[in-house]
Structure 1
Amino acid sequence: MPARRLTPEQCEQIAALRETGMSYGRIARKFGCSESTVYWKCLALGAEPPSPQPLTARALGPAVAIRNGREIRRFTAEDDAKLLAMEAEGKRIADMARALGRQSNSVRARLMTLARHEARAEAA
Structure 2
Amino acid sequence: MTGYRRKLTDAQIDDVIAKRERGWSYQALADANDVTAGAIHYQCLKHGAVSPRQRRRPVPTEPSSFVARDGRTQRKFTQAEDARLLELESQGLNHRQMAEALGRAITSVRIRLMTLAIHEDIPCTEPTDG
Q: TM-score range by the shorter chain?
A: 0.7 to 0.9
Q: Aligned runs of 1:2-21 on 2, under 5 Å?
A: 3-21=5-23
Give the distance between the partners of 2:34 and 2:67, measured in 1 at CA: 29
Q: Aligned runs of 1:96-111 on 2, under 5 Å?
A: 96-111=98-113
Contact 2:5 2:34 in 1 (8 A): no
Structure 1 unaligned residues grouped into runs of 5+: none
Structure-2 change in CA distance of 1:23 and 1:2 (3 Å): closer
What residue in structure 2 maps to residue 34 of structure 1? 36
Q: TM-score, normalised by structure 1?
A: 0.81
Q: Aligned runs of 1:105-124 on 2, under 5 Å?
A: 105-120=107-122
Deviation of 1:58 after TM superposition, in Å, equals 4.0
Give the distance between the partners of 2:58 and 2:4, measured in 1 at CA: 39
Q: TM-score, normalised by structure 2?
A: 0.77
RMSD of aligned Cα (Å): 2.3
Deviation of 1:2 after TM superposition, in Å, equals 8.8
Q: Which runs of 4+ in 1 moved over 4 A?
A: none
Question: Higher helix share goes to which structure?
Answer: 1
Higher relative contact order (CA 8 A, sep 6+): 2
Structure 2 unaligned residues grouped into runs of 5+: 124-130
Task: Name which of 43, 47, 50 aligns with 1:48.
Answer: 50
